């Protein structure tokens, strides 16, 4: 993540860059504190072995914000042996991040004037050791939702007690929490059943063969927030979400105030000449007539699922813009490895591209999601429910068809569908295959029915609330001001 701050308060932010699309999205969002001028220096970007180069992404971001006084520093690649075939790639990711600590420490010591604070990506908990070495206040930028945060903040309790002793005061029990006794009284999270909690489920047992995961999450959870985090810009607070988050901390945490969609988004900074072809295609489509399908930088489906999805879209009769990525490698150790460009002719049903050429567009691998969601032709978003994507949809006023795939996305689905009522879930998303009939049914529901109109009206309402929150004096603006005040207080205490 890039560094931001004021001319008096320089703070450095470090994050992982598992792939260029992921790094681009996260870095772009971190460049958007609500209505505040950006000044600062420093970034410790962590390149992963085998991942695409981040240099083009950093160059684009730098040129997109020439007046922000942001500087970027890409740490050198570390010598690292990837996990063996069948090995766990998440453990490897934490190993790479830990091995980057010496380079990060050297970078921070070289900066002049020296940094005043260190803002860490959620995954970079080992960098707390670097902050301690330099006596810097450390903040966590947690880029997911409050429900997921509540679960992770509760992990130290589940590990310490193994079995919770009676109910905790105040918070309402989570519906379905009886499915997992260790979380039966965990306060603060939106009410998913155990199958909705961040996966894989063995995380709760902290197996020794995964040295960084979830032990690092537990370590990060012990870095308690100094104060209750700010409300999210894009949605009303869930009635039982913030209770856990009021406890006094030992470290500070920075809750990210997200921007995107139709609320003051600056796009990706590329000139009109570089505008993606899919945006020109959308220009020719009627208003709210297109279903946009995109599943994040890590989301990918099997060839069988791609064919079922294609058939469902074709039968729906509606326009669509679909980002298709190559199917995942069957070797789990290659989960973070770059994928080849998809062979659309081989992956999709025979004749599909020709039959839908008049109303559909399939884009290989990547599309400018924020710009697409902001486009008036888009009427619905079929999404994996990643938190970036969810907030970008809400701030653009676009309802969601929720198809969660991994990590905390099932929890996000519960929040989007049951709590703020801006989406509808794909039935069978947690099964091996979602049938073409279900894809067709959900597209028709959101594009043709009264229920779809209600979702659109709700999305428009939340878009307005997001705009108010991000504006000067809004909750997100105030939250970022509180962070700057806390940073100033740390500086005064250090003098």
Ordered by start, the domain boundaries in the chain are: 12-18+31-143, 286-469
**What is the DSSP annotation of 342-377?**
P-HHHHSPTTHHHHTTTTEEEEES---HHHHHHSTT
Q: Which pLDDT score is estimated for 196?
A: 62
CATH 3.40.50.2000 describes domain 12-18+31-143? yes
pTM of the model: 0.76
Kindly compute the dihedral angle of the four CA atoms of residues 445, 386, 188, 89, in this order, to the nearest 10 degrees: 140
Kindly tell me if the per-residue pLDDT of 167 is higher than 60: no
Q: How does residue 281 score in pLDDT terms, banded at 50, 70 and 90?
A: very high
Predicted local confidence at residue 447, as pLDDT? 98
Measured CA to CA, the distance from residue 30 to residue 13 in angstroms comes to: 9
In this structure, the chain runs to a length of 495
Closest to 134 in 3D by CA, of 275, 14, 31: 14
Query: Is pLDDT above 90 for 18?
Result: no
Q: How many CB atoms lie within 10 A of CB 272?
A: 6
Query: In this predicted model, what pLDDT tens digit does every residue of 323-377 receive, in sequence order?
Result: 999 999 888 888 878 889 999 999 999 999 999 998 999 999 999 999 999 999 9
Tokens linked to 100? 């980057």
pLDDT-derived band of residue 454, with 50, 70 and 90 as boundaries?
A: very high
One of 3.60.20.10, 3.30.470.10, 3.40.50.2000, 3.30.530.20 is the CATH number of 286-469, namely 3.40.50.2000
* Tokens (6 digits) for 38: 């950006």
Cα separation values, 201 from 145, 158, 403, Å: 19, 14, 19
Residues ≥6 apart with Cβ < 8 Å to 450: none
- Structural contact between residues 47 and 75, judged by C-beta atoms closer than 8 angstroms: yes
Distance of CA 327 to the CA centre of its chain: 21
Take residue 483 and report the two structure tokens written for it. 């962070």
Local structure of 493: helix, strand or coil? helix
- pLDDT-derived band of residue 249, with 50, 70 and 90 as boundaries? very low
Residue with tokens 């009303």: 236
More reliable by pLDDT, 295 or 178: 295
- Specify the DSSP element, H or E, that contains 156: helix 146-161
Q: Can you give the pLDDT at residue 234?
A: 34
Q: How confident is the model over 133-144, as a mean pLDDT?
A: 88
Distance of alpha carbon 179 from alpha carbon 256, whole angstroms: 31
Rg (CA), the chain: 22
What is the pLDDT confidence band of residue 128, given thresholds at 50, 70 and 90?
very high
Residue 393's closest CA among 456, 479, 475, 313?
456
In 100-145, which residue ranges form alpha helices assigned H by DSSP?
Answer: 101-110, 128-134
Per-residue confidence (pLDDT) for residue 236, from 0 to 100:
34
Q: How far is CA 88 from the centre of its chain?
A: 21
> Coil, helix or strand for 332?
helix
Instruction: Give residue 435's pLDDT.
Output: 98
Identify the residue whose tokens are 């992990």.
Answer: 155
Higher pLDDT, 241 or 471: 471
Please give the Cα distance from 431 to 417 (Å, whole number): 19
- Calpha distance 293→177 (Å, rounded): 32
The rounded percent of the chain whose pLDDT value lies above 90 is 41
Specify whether the CB–CB gap between 400 and 390 falls below 8 A.
Answer: yes
Greater model confidence, 156 or 419 = 419
Task: Reply yes or no on whether the pLDDT at 104 is more than 90.
Answer: yes
Going from the C-alpha of 378 to that of each of 31, 51, 282, 397, the distances in angstroms are: 26, 32, 8, 10
Rounded alpha-carbon distances, angstroms, from residue 117 to 154, 181, 369: 26, 39, 32
- Answer whether the bond into residue 23 is a cis peptide, omega within 30°: no
Give the model's confidence band at 14: pLDDT under 50 very low, under 70 low, under 90 confident, else very high. low
Task: Identify the pLDDT of residue 468.
Answer: 94
Q: What is the pLDDT of residue 438?
A: 98
Q: What are the DSSP calls for 289-325, one per residue?
A: -EEEEE-TTT----HHHHHHHHHHHHHH--EEEEEE-
Contact yes or no for 242/232 (Cβ under 8 A): no
- Rounded mean pLDDT, 253-258: 33
More confident: 273 or 262: 273
pLDDT in tens, 298-325: 899 999 999 999 999 999 999 999 999 9
Find the farthest-apart pair of alpha carbons in the chain and give their distance in angstroms, rounded. Answer: 70
Q: What pLDDT is stored for residue 339 in this prediction?
A: 86
Q: Per mean pLDDT, which range of 67-76, 137-146, 458-467 is the poorest? A: 67-76
Q: What is the mean pLDDT of the chain?
A: 75
Residue 142: strand pairing partners = 255
Angle at 201 between CA 199 and CA 204, to 5 degrees: 110
Query: How far apart are alpha carbons 121 and 15 in whole angstroms?
Result: 5
Higher pLDDT, residue 349 or 32? 349
Directed axis angle between helix 215-222 and helix 146-161, to 10°?
Answer: 100
Mean pLDDT to the nearest integer, 412-426: 96
The predicted structure's pLDDT at residue 140: 85
User: Predicted confidence band at 439 (pLDDT cuts at 50, 70, 90)?
Assistant: very high
Q: Which of 274, 258, 334, 202 is nearest to 30 (CA)?
A: 258
What's the average model confidence in pLDDT over 383-390? 96
Q: pLDDT class for 86, splitting at 50, 70, 90?
A: confident
Q: What percent of the chain has pLDDT over 70?
A: 65
pLDDT score for 405: 95
pLDDT of residue 282: 98
């Amino acid at each position: 993540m890039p560094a931001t701050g004021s001319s008096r308060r320089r703070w450095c932010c470090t994050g992982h860059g598992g792939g260029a699309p992921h790094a681009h999205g996260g870095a772009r969002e971190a460049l958007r504190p609500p209505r505040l001028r950006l000044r600062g220096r420093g970034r410790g970007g962590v390149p992963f072995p085998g991942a695409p180069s981040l240099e083009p992404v950093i160059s684009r971001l730098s040129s997109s914000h020439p007046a922000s006084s942001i500087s970027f520093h890409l740490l050198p690649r570390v010598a690292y042996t990837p996990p063996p075939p069948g090995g766990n790639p998440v453990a490897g990711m934490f190993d790479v991040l830990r091995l980057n600590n010496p380079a990060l420490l050297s970078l921070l010591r070289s900066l002049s004037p020296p940094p005043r604070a260190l803002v860490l990506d959620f995954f970079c908990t080992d960098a707390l050791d670097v902050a301690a070495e330099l006596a810097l206040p450390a903040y966590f930028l947690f880029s997911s939702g409050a429900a997921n945060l509540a679960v992770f903040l509760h992990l130290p309790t589940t590990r310490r007690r193994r079995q919770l002793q009676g109910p905790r005061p105040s918070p309402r029990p989570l519906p379905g929490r009886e499915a997992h006794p260790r979380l039966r009284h965990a306060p603060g999270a939106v009410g998913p059943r155990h199958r909705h909690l961040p996966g894989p489920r063995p995380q709760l047992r902290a197996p020794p063969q995964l040295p960084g995961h979830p032990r690092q999450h537990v370590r990060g959870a012990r870095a308690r927030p100094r104060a209750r985090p700010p409300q999210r810009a894009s949605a009303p607070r869930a009635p039982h979400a913030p209770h856990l988050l009021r406890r006094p901390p030992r470290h500070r945490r920075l809750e990210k105030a997200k921007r995107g969609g139709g609320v003051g988004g600056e796009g990706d900074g590329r000139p009109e000449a570089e505008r993606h072809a899919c945006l020109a295609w959308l220009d020719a489509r009627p208003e709210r007539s297109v279903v946009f399908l995109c599943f994040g930088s890590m989301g990918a489906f099997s060839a069988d699922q791609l064919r079922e999805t294609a058939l469902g879209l074709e039968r729906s009769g509606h326009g669509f813009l679909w980002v298709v990525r190559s199917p995942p490698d069957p070797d789990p150790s290659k989960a973070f490895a770059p994928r080849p460009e998809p062979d659309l002719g081989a992956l999709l049903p025979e004749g599909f591209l020709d039959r839908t050429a008049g109303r559909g567009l399939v884009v290989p691998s990547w599309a400018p999601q924020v710009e697409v969601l902001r486009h008036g032709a888009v009427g619905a978003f079929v999404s994996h429910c990643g938190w970036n994507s969810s907030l970008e949809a809400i701030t653009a006023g676009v309802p969601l068809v929720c198809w969660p795939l991994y990590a905390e996305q099932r929890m996000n689905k519960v929040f989007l569908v049951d709590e703020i009522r801006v989406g509808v879930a794909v039935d069978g998303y947690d099964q091996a295959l979602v049938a073409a009939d279900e894809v067709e049914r959900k597209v028709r529901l959101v594009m043709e029915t009264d229920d779809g109109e209600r979702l659109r009206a709700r999305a428009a309402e939340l878009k307005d609330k997001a705009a108010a929150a991000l504006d000067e004096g809004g909750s997100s603006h105030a939250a970022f001001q509180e962070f700057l005040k806390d940073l100033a207080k740390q500086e005064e205490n250090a003098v």
